[in-house]
Amino acid sequence: MIIRPRPRGWQLLYILRGSIVPAIAPRVLAIGLLAVAVALFAKLHAPFAADGLAVAPFTLLGLVLSIFLSFRNNACHERWWEGRKQWGQLLIEARSLARQAGALLPEDPRLRRRVSWLLIGFAHALAARLRGRDEAAAAAPWLAPDQAHVLQRRNVPDALLAQAADELAGPLRAGALDPYLYGCFDARLHALSSVQAACERIAGTPLPFAYTLLLHRCAWLFCVLLPFGLAGALGWATPVVSMVLAYAFFGLDQLGEELEEPFGLESNDLPLDALVRTLEIDVRDALGDHPLPAPLQPQDYLLH
């Protein structure tokens, strides 16, 4: 995620870090070169300049395309924002469970630490799962030797929650934990499982491919044909106008594509590593661990 102050004045013209320009620059330049060629052709062939394509069809097509791009970007932003809300809920549930463990398991600090570290391992494993990384390797540093068997499971984050439930069931079976209090812990674990399922739903259900493909094609069709409609009226100004409109349409298309996958590694995706570090700090602080790891900071305006 890009973290930087809002640009002001001339900064709007030259800021590239966090901008969509690097991703779409080749496409915009291609349209600019095409527009130069069309403008030159129109300059050399007066009949083409006089009888070129009318601007009205491009106005209608551009209006329809902008509406569809707006709908798609709204849907993509909703996926991005829902992913952020789910990770916010994960922080809430993990902090609450750590707080409950400190209040309800004061006589068994070993069990409290084992459960709390399972929570940290769960966050690391879930982030790795959403980004296609090795879940077991991400969770392994947070497990005791007798808990390592959970790393053999296909769904490591879910196995970690099951292990936490099993750890808490020990004092329940021994009569040291009231069933109602165990129910409070189980409710937190269920909420964490719901967060995992929601994140997997977002990651595993992209927008319909046919809809995305249609918008890609229409954006290219509009930008490629636009210089033919403008050359007769604008002359050598055609490349400038064509590139500005290409920047707008290709930029909206590319931005929607990045927001569609909120758990990826693009500049505008969610900073899962920073969120996991925040959870780790809070849970270890509740255990009384010191020194605590430092929060992740943006590097060159990018927060991972």
Q: What is the CB neighbour count within 10 angstroms for residue 276?
A: 23
Instruction: State how far the Cα of 151 lies from the Cα of 124, in Å rounded to an integer.
Output: 13
Question: What are 299's strand-pairing partners?
Answer: 302
Type of residue at 22: P
What is the greatest pairwise CA distance in the chain? 95
Residue 276: closest CA among 97, 101, 119, 154: 119
In this prediction the pTM is: 0.87
Instruction: Kindly list the domain boundaries of the chain, sorted by start residue.
Output: 20-287
| pLDDT for res 269 | 86
> Which residues does 202 contact at the CB level (< 8 Å), separation at least 6?
79, 82, 83, 86, 262, 263
Helix (H, G, I), strand (E, B) or coil at 2: strand
**Residue 111 exposed, middle or buried by CB count within 10 Å (0-12, 13-18, 19+):** middle
**pLDDT (0 to 100) of residue 50:** 47
What does the alpha-carbon distance between residue 75 and residue 256 come to, in Å, rounded to a whole number?
A: 8
Of 51, 9, 44, 4, the C-alpha closest to 232 is: 51
Q: How many CB atoms lie within 10 A of CB 159?
A: 23
Residues 6+ apart with CB under 8 A from 201: none
**Rounded Cα–Cα distance for residues 58 and 150 (Å):** 59
Candidates 76, 271, 104, 285; CA nearest to 188 is 104
Q: What is the pLDDT along the chain (304 residues), one digit of tens a residue?
A: 777 667 676 666 667 676 778 888 899 999 999 999 888 887 776 555 445 556 667 777 778 788 888 888 898 999 999 999 999 999 999 999 999 988 888 778 888 899 999 999 999 999 999 999 999 999 999 998 999 899 999 999 999 999 999 999 888 888 888 888 889 989 999 999 999 999 999 999 888 888 888 888 888 988 888 888 787 777 788 889 889 999 988 988 888 888 889 998 888 889 999 999 999 999 999 988 889 898 888 887 677 7
